Homo-oligomer: A and B are copies of this chain.
């Protein structure tokens, strides 16, 4: 007898949960039908009903990553300008166990994406969208006089994304040296430096 629709939905959730668990622990490099089956205590044969190929499993994992990223809880952005940039970047950093798992899976996905033209293009587009979502807040910051008038919001957004993702990687490898307090202080130093008017220039 086929399972009732409600059972099927519940089972799909179980599968997604197991895929996420495997990714958080072993990354895409360790994502196999066998590992997911073991996490669920079922046979790989049962899982092949959901994922007939390795590619189907990877596609599901990437969808899940996008979905959980889009649905993650976010800080309120009540104050415009740099305070909103700060809230957006804090939403990215690995400050909680859930944020850490999600970031760990994103970093893991880069190996896969760099090896595949389509996935690399998807990731490049994700970066375009991320920078575009931050840019208006830097425009506000400039309008409010929080950053110098000469600052380019497009460059500022690219720089802020660079700083944040590079901090993500360091924090993932060394959570003891990069607790929430340290990550937040580094971010505030970064934003504080942007907020200062030009004076000295770098000698090259």
Determine if A136 is an interface residue (Cβ-Cβ < 8 Å).
no
How many copies are assembled? 2
Nearest CB of chain B from residue A17's CB, rounded to whole Å: 19
Determine if A41 is an interface residue (Cβ-Cβ < 8 Å).
no
Contact A111 B196 (CB under 8 A): no
Contact B170 A165 (CB under 8 A): yes
Nearest CB of chain B from residue A31's CB, rounded to whole Å: 10
Bound Cα distance A123, B145 (Å): 40
Of the candidates B158, B169, B199, the one whose C-beta lies within 8 Å of that of A197 is B199
Contact B162 A166 (CB under 8 A): yes
Further pairs besides A124-B177, A162-B163: 14, Cβ < 8 Å: A28-B111, A79-B203, A107-B111, A124-B173, A146-B202, A158-B170, A159-B190, A161-B170, A162-B170, A162-B186, A165-B166, A191-B202, A196-B196, A196-B200
Q: At the interface with chain B, which of A4-12, A42-50, A113-121?
A: A113-121
Determine if A19 is an interface residue (Cβ-Cβ < 8 Å).
no
Contact B29 A112 (CB under 8 A): yes
Bound Cα distance A99, B81 (Å): 36
Proximity string of chain A (174-193) to chain B, C-beta cutoff 8 Å, 1 when within and 0 when not:
10010000000110111111
Bound Cα distance A67, B115 (Å): 23
Size bracket, chain A contacts: 35 or more
Contact B163 A123 (CB under 8 A): no
Determine if A164 is an interface residue (Cβ-Cβ < 8 Å).
yes
B-side contacts of A196, CB under 8 Å: 193, 196-200
In the A-B complex, the 10 residue pairs with the closest CB atoms: A166-B166, A162-B166, A165-B166, A196-B196, A162-B167, A108-B111, A124-B174, A193-B193, A111-B111, A195-B200
Contact B186 A195 (CB under 8 A): no
Of the candidates B107, B124, B201, the one whose C-beta lies within 8 Å of that of A192 is B201
Contact A186 B159 (CB under 8 A): yes
B-side contacts of A102, CB under 8 Å: none
